[in-house]
Amino acid sequence: MPYDISEDKREWYRQVSARSRRRKTAAIKGHLAHNPNKLNVPSLRPADLMPQQKGHGARALSLFSGGGGLDLGFERAGYTHVASFDILDICQATLRRNRPEWEVQSGECGDVTLVDWDAYRGKVDLLHGGPPCQPFSIAGKQRGHKDDRDMWPAFIDAILTLKPEAFVAENVPGLLDVKFHRYINDVILSPLAPYYHIIKFKAVASDYGVPQIRKRVFFVGFRSSTAANNYKIPEPTHLPDHTLFSTGKSTMGAREALGLDDVGFDCFAPTLRSGFTGPRKSTSILNSKASQAVWEQLKIWPNGVQTSRERALRFPPENGHFRLSVQDCAVLQGFPEDWIFEGAAYQILGQIGNSVCPPMGYSVAKSVARALGV
C-alpha cells in the first residue's frame, strides 16, 4: 500500500532526494570541503574485550554463521572450529577471507535444512548459532512459525542428530514475548527436554564493553546435569563505578569508541539495523524514529554508510555530523579492526547487523567452557 502523505510532503521528499544525489555526485568529484587529516582513529579495540584463551579441545560447529560474530567469540574463547554453515555466499566469502583454514559452507551446501548431519556425528562437542530473528522481531512483523524464515526446527533437528555435549542459541528478546510462549515450549523446549537441561537468559551488549544498546536472549543447553548445575550466566564485565555492582570498567560511548571529538554528549549507540532488512540495498543503520533522536544528539549520521573511512570523510552530511563507514559500524558491534567483511556496503551492514556482538558471544562461550570443565 502507498504511504498516505500529502503532495507537499511528497515534493519535500523528492527535493531531499535530489539534493542528496547532487551532494553525492559532488563528493565523488571531490568538490565537497573536507579535512583529510580528520580521519577518525577508534579508541576502542574490540580484541581487548576478548583476550585469546588457550585451546581446550572443545569442538564447535556453527549454524547461521553470518558475518562470524559467534564464530569469532568462540574461537577466542579457546574452542576448535569444526565448520560454519550459512545460506548466503557473501557470508562464506567473509569467513574464508578471515579464516581461510576453516570449513565454510554456503548456498545449497550451507542450507541447514538440507545438510546431512550424520557426517558430523562424534566430531562436535558444542553447536552454536542464531536462527534468523526476523520471525520474532518487531521489524520482521513477529509472524513466528508462519514466517518462512523460521529456522528453529532445523536448528533443533541438528542438535537432536548430533547430540553435542552443549549448545548455544541466540535470538532477539521478542522471542520471549507472551505471544511466543507456546512456540518456545512446543518447538524449542519440549523436543530437547528429554536430552538437555536448558537455561535461558537475556544479555545486553554494553555490559560486555560493546558501545551499543543491543539486547539478546540466549538458550544454553547441557546433556549433563552436573554441567547444567555448574553453569553460571556470564556476569557483566563492564559496569561503571557509580553502579551498585561496579566491575571497575566502563563501556565507552559511541563517540569515544570511534575516536571522535568531544561535543559535550556521548552515549551508547542505538541497536544497528541490518542492511539485509528494510528497503533493498539500504545503507542506513537507523532502526526507529526514537533511535534517530539519539543519533542526532550524538551528531552521528546513521544513513548513507560508506565502504571506507576515507569515502565517508569526503562525503560530509549537510548538517555537519559525522558520517559512518562500515568499519566504524563493525567497531560499534564489537568486531576487531582486522576482521574484514566482504561485499557491498549494504551486504556488510547486513552481516554486521545480523551478527552476535563477538564480545558477548565470547563471554557466553567462556561460561559454557567453565561449566563443561574444559
Distance CA 187, CA 183 (A): 6
Length of the chain: 374
CB 112 within 8 A of CB 85: yes
Determine if residue 186 is left, alpha or beta; phi over 0 gives left, psi from -120 to 50 gives alpha, anything else beta.
Answer: alpha
Distance CA 268, CA 256 (A): 10
Biggest CA pair distance of the chain: 67
Euclidean distance between CA atoms 53 and 194, whole angstroms: 33
Task: Report the amino acid identity of residue 161.
Answer: T
Question: Residue 45's CB: how many other CB atoms inside 10 A?
Answer: 11
Q: Which residue carries 498516505 as its cell?
A: 4
Instruction: Round to the nearest angstrom and report the end-to-end CA distance of the chain.
Output: 55
109 a catalytic residue: no
Nearest Cα neighbor of 74 from 220, 251, 172 is: 220
The catalytic residue among 133, 267, 329, 357 is 133
Torsion of CA 85, 89, 91, 97, to 10 degrees: 110
- What is the CA angle 319-323-326, rounded to 5? 160
Nearest residue to 336 via CA among 92, 103, 86, 67: 67
Taking the C-alpha atoms of residue 297 and residue 229, their distance in angstroms, rounded to an integer, is 45
Q: Return the C-alpha cell found at 97.
A: 577471507
Compute and round to an integer the Cα radius of gyration of the chain: 21
Angle (CA) 119 63 151, round 5°: 105
Give me the amino acid identity at 284: S
Active site residues: 133
